[in-house]
Amino acid sequence: MKQDLGAHAFAFPTPVYIVGSYGKDGKPNAMNVAWGGICGSEPPCVAISIRKSRRSYDNITEKGAFTVNIPSKAHIKEADYFGIASGHKVDKFAATGLTAVKSPHVDAPYIEEFPLCLACKVIHTMELGQHVQFVGEIVSVMADASCLTAGGLPDIEKLAPLLFDPAKSAYNATGEYLGKAFSVGKEFLNKG
Ligand SMILES: Cc1cc2nc3c(=O)[nH]c(=O)nc-3n(C[C@H](O)[C@H](O)[C@H](O)COP(=O)(O)O)c2cc1C
């Protein structure tokens, strides 16, 4: 018997995306976004939901572009800071000492010290109550060699991404490898 907890944004886990954007003045900014996720594969797309009060909202609306940077757990403090300080008031790159680099693919900066970056062009926006959802087409993925497998694909263990727990408002690390997708469930095929 389940308890009814009411209406909450309780999907587990949510990501920790650090979204990079440029202002009209060309100043780089970045914010922490937990309300987001992959929402398409051909073309590859990612959705992020941002309140209109954020500096990043103005930037992304103006430029039609953003980056999604995946921080490793080593950068938990910087990632959190990007979610508690606003580019309306401070220069977050100056404060953290992290490096904003112009993406070669879109008019948005990526974060040099974070291992993986998705360069995105806005293809849809949708009002969702307090948030506006931006759907970005991922035009390129930029990765540090240190987070790749021998086959050249991102490795979750090397990336060591942060996860956000929306119930405790806390960060967790990823857990252990459990099994191969599109495979471990095969024993149920032809049984139903
Ligand atoms: C873990 C975490 C997740 C967050 N997720 C979101 C989010 O999904 N959407 C949003 O609008 N704000 C979110 N925030 C708040 C913004 O990151 C925060 O208001 C930030 O200061 C906005 O920066 P900006 O004004 O420079 O764009 C989150 C903050 C934290 C710490």
pLDDT at 185: 98
End-to-end CA distance of the chain: 25
Q: Are 12 and 34 in contact (CB under 8 A)?
A: no
pLDDT at 69: 98
Q: Is the Cβ atom of 166 under 6 angstroms away from ligand 1? A: no
CA-based diameter of the chain, in Å? 61
Share of the chain above pLDDT 90, in %: 100
Residues 98-125 have pLDDT tens digits of 999 999 999 999 999 999 999 999 999 9
CA 108 to chain centre: 14
Tokens 């650090």, residue?
18
Q: Is the Cβ atom of 29 under 6 angstroms away from ligand 1? A: yes
pLDDT at 26: 97
Residues 77-97 have pLDDT tens digits of 999 999 999 999 999 999 999
What atom of ligand 1 comes closest to residue 84's alpha carbon?
21
Mean pLDDT of 166-192: 97
Tokens of 48: 């992020």
Domain contains 5:
no
Domain contains 1:
no
CA 84 to ligand 1 center in whole angstroms? 7
If one residue of 14, 27, 33, 75 were mutated to test the ligand 1 pocket, choosing by the most ligand atoms within 8 A of its CB, it would be 33
Task: Give the residue whose CA is nearest to atom 10 of ligand 1.
Answer: 50
Domain contains 40:
yes
Domain contains 8:
no
- Residue 172's pLDDT band (cuts 50, 70, 90): very high
Q: Are 22 and 59 in contact (CB under 8 A)?
A: yes
Q: Are 9 and 35 in contact (CB under 8 A)?
A: yes
Tokens of 47: 């959705």
Domain contains 181:
yes
Q: Is the Cβ atom of 13 under 6 angstroms away from ligand 1? A: no
Q: Quote the CA–CA distance of 71 and 140 in Å, as a whole number.
A: 17
pLDDT at 179: 98
CATH no. for residue 94?
Answer: 2.30.110.10
Domain contains 119:
yes
What atom of ligand 1 comes closest to residue 59's alpha carbon?
27
Mean pLDDT of 37-64: 98
Which residues constitute the domain of residue 162? Answer: 14-188
Mean pLDDT of 46-59: 98
Q: For the chain, how many structural domains are there in total?
A: 1
pLDDT at 31: 99
Domain contains 105:
yes
Domain contains 2:
no
